[in-house]
Amino acid sequence: MIEPKSRQRILAIIMAGGKGERLMPLTELRSKPAVPFGGKYRIVDFVLSNFLNSGIMAMYVLVQYRSQSLIEHLRRAWRIGGRIKENFITVVPPQMKARGGWYEGTADAVYHNLNLIQDFAPDLVAVFGADHIYRMDIGQMIQFHLEHAADVTVAARPVPLHAAKGFGIIDVDREGRIVGFDEKPKQPKPMPDDPGQAFSSMGNYLFKTDVLLRSLEQDASRPGSHDFGREIIPRLLATHRVQAYNFLDNRVPGLKHYEERGYWRDVGTLDSYWQSHLDLLGEAPVFDLRNPSWPILTDTFDGPTASMVRSRIDDAMVGQGSQVIEADIRRSVIGRNVYIEAGAHIEECVILDGVRIGSKAKLKRVIADRFNVIPDGTELGWDQAADRKRFQVTRSGLVVLPRGPSIGERPMRSQPDGSVM
């Protein structure tokens, strides 16, 4: 939390308009931040929970592509404020102002909504992405920003050099001031003290308000991608104090000794989405959702506790309202209102809400989107050649079923929360 002496007027701008093309077919009908995660959450819940737990209550959520599912989730799960005018989470669709079209980049999305920043008149503006899995006390980043008299602060963390091509890579001096910023380089520059890693931007920024407003106005007058990582931040390095905040220095209360320090995942691919689910499992998970000191919040669900009848459940999570009868489930995350019939075997799977799995079905390394109906005796994940003829299979061999019903002809059950995606 922010210390009283450092209290600032903070406005959060949450960038939640991403297509999430590499997560297809999970993003065929919803944006990436709206994709379900962990048996009960949506990806967007993690950044919103971080702000709320950090005591920052003024948030605009900018949406764009396939946004209805996300809008409905935010309406149900994130109603705060009421009569307190400065406590709000407000969805902001594209206003078609400025250049009159869709958002052209992250900076352009904020530029379209300059009036919201000017009307709120904050001391600092936090521009954060909505599609990562992590916990963060943003108050500590704000404190760092103030102590270093920064104009802009970029949250950053070390990443393995082989995985750094997809991120903005930062070069810093001894004081942590950014002296170089290369967005998604073909050959990432290694850290001087660790040649196996690169210092990567997390895509989360803190701006002095006047610096942000001037930068966006200048950027809008020039041709380009209108992106924070590609243009705004690199341009500011020569004229402003731009600091890197090392996410590994962040300390969130309630973390267990066995959790990975600075856990942060970009679940932008099907394989990373699947692996992040497995990270939740086990006696000592690297990312433990059980943390009452820093809860991840989401919408309420009135279904009963999950029911297991003569079943073997090992190293798995099973959501509310689900019923498992004489089945074998291993290293899997099962969503809400899932029905699993006798003799089914499920191994290393991610099963979303409302799926029905028939008797003696065998599923291994399967991601099944909502409301799939998998007939009796179906086998998926055991014969890749056969699977590829019918479904999407990733390079690593994951079988991915789009939103159901994908297999069989049983009627789809209605969704418990009334939403459609």
CATH number for 337: 2.160.10.10
- pLDDT confidence of residue 96: 64
- Are 53 and 136 part of one and the same domain? yes
pLDDT at 342 over 90: yes
Q: Find the domain containing 314 and state its range.
A: 307-401
State the pLDDT at residue 2.
40
pLDDT at 7: 76
Domain boundary among 206, 237, 266: 266
Residue 65 has which token pair? 């592509």
- CA angle in degrees (0–180, nearest 5) for 60-64-70: 70
Confirm whether 391 is domain-assigned: yes
Residue 415 is assigned to a structural domain of this protein: no
Residues linked to residue 206 through DSSP beta bridges, in sequence order:
126, 153
- Please answer whether residues 104 and 225 qualify as being in contact, where contact means their C-beta atoms are separated by less than 8 angstroms: yes
Residue 414 lies inside a defined structural domain of this protein:
no
- Residue 339 domain flag: yes
Instruction: Supply the pLDDT for residue 246.
Output: 95
Amino acid type, 79: R
Residue-averaged pLDDT of the chain: 90
Q: Check if the beta carbon of residue 176 is closer than 8 Å to that of residue 290.
A: no
Instruction: Tell whether 331 and 252 lie within a shared domain.
Output: no
Three-class DSSP labels, 88-131: EEEEECCCCCCCCCCCCCHHHHHHCCHHHHHHHCCCEEEEEECC
The answer as to whether 19 is a domain residue is: yes
Find all residues with CB under 8 Å of 223, minimum gap 6, and list them. Answer: none
Q: Which of 130, 44, 123, 45 is nearest to 86 (CA)?
A: 123
Q: What is the pLDDT of residue 5?
A: 38
Q: What is the dihedral of CA 315, 321, 324, 330, to 10 degrees?
A: -20
Judge if the upstream peptide bond of residue 405 is cis by omega within 30 degrees of 0: yes
pLDDT of 412 higher than 60? no
My answer on whether 261 and 365 are in the same domain is no
Give residue 99's pLDDT: 55
% of the chain surpassing 90 pLDDT: 73
Give pLDDT, residue 418: 44
Is the pLDDT score of 293 beyond 50? Answer: yes
| Model pLDDT, residue 241 | 96
- How high is the pLDDT of residue 191? 85
Q: For the whole model, what pTM was predicted?
A: 0.92
Give residue 82's pLDDT.
67
Q: What is the pLDDT of residues 171-208, one digit of tens each?
A: 988 888 999 988 888 888 888 778 888 999 999 999 99
> What pLDDT is stored for residue 100 in this prediction?
56
pLDDT band at 84 (very low <50, low <70, confident <90, very high): confident
Express each pLDDT in 31-71 by its tens digit. Answer: 999 999 999 999 999 999 999 999 999 999 999 888 899 99
- Answer whether residue 239 is part of any domain: yes
pLDDT reading at 299 higher than 90: yes
Q: In this structure, are 9 and 132 located in the same domain?
A: yes
Residue 105 lies in a domain: yes
Is the pLDDT score of 266 beyond 70? Answer: yes
Q: What is the number of domains present in the chain? A: 2
Indicate whether 137 pLDDT > 60. Answer: yes
**Among the listed residues 209, 162, 215, 217, the one whose alpha carbon sits nearest the alpha carbon of residue 190:** 162
Q: Is residue 418 part of a domain?
A: no
In this structure, what token pair is assigned to residue 376? 């009796």
Q: Quick check: 9 pLDDT over 60? A: yes
Mean pLDDT of 382-403: 94
